[in-house]
Chains A and B, each alone.
Chain A
Amino acid sequence: MAYNKPIPDPDPLSKPFWEGARAGKLMLPRCTSCNRVHWYPRHICPNCHAREIEWFEASGEGRVHTFAVQHRAFGGWAEEVPFVTAYIDLNEGDRMFTVLRGVDPNKPDLNWIGARVRVEFEPASADVHIAFWRVIQG
């Protein structure tokens, strides 16, 4: 079945992320001046304001910072309710937003906060693969 949820329209700023996603790699931007990783992609480092930003392949692992269970949604997501959304603390620093996999949305548990997660990519179209995070053991 065709992917029936909103498909991002990649912009030039985030091109390396989408190229990485197609290859199953999590690419992140990092400032070459202060070495800080930032998410989302920017025109300038929000920490030191240098404009030299490089992309590198990240571990693809992190931990759940916080989450919610969505019981109301629109479009393709309406068919998925309830589903869990979460902010992920990346091992390399800063945070991503996602739909969290590997948990039961009908049994929300505060202990999910801090759980280890790993990224996976789902093809939404030939060009666009979307990052989802899944809770892993340990």
Chain B
Amino acid sequence: MRVGFDKELEKLERDVLRMGSIVEEAVVKAIRALANQDLALADEVIANDREVDLLEIQIEEKCIALLALQCPLGRDLRLIGTTLKITTDLERVGDNAVNIMEVVKRIGHEPLIKPLIDIPRMANLAEKMLKDSLDAFVRRDATLAEQVRLRDDEVDEIYVGLYDELMGYVFPGGEEYKVRQAINLLFISYYLERIADHATNIAERVVYLVTGQAVSHPKARAAGRPSRS
């Protein structure tokens, strides 16, 4: 019975990582589609998200079945709990990638109002955070998970700066297409910030999984409306 259960847990972990790999790929492709204004790639990312949604449901069902049938304790219980949460975060990251693609399609081949510098930087940071949070999960590496958590501040900082800069285009009487694009780019940076947040969540869960200690959120996340004096 226990042997079977251990196997099930291993398989569960593999499923989560498989989902993680698909989501990571979606993010990388999304970043590329954004950088190259590649609408075909954007469509591909949008279409692939269905699989992520299905996987979330499948993994969730497996977790619930394991909880109900095996009454796991201690570490095993923590692993299943962590898995449930990570899956939710991964699914959201997939959604964010899709959101970004929708904006990219709205912008289309319009010339950009400014060269993209901070957005790709943010995108790369978020992607790396996602990768490292999953690495931390694989290796049960609480130290790496902590690092991921700290990097979230950097992303938030870029986001706040971008917010101010892009809002500079949005004023009454501003050229319509510039205003529209500024708002679109703002959305993109918002979604990227969300991806980084989800990566941070995953990292926090890894810390919990390894240490058994829940980490308190360092700050309430009021994403979308960075407060500025």
Task: Indicate whether A and B interact.
Answer: no
Interface residues, chain A, CB within 8 Å of chain B? none
Interface residues, chain B, CB within 8 Å of chain A? none
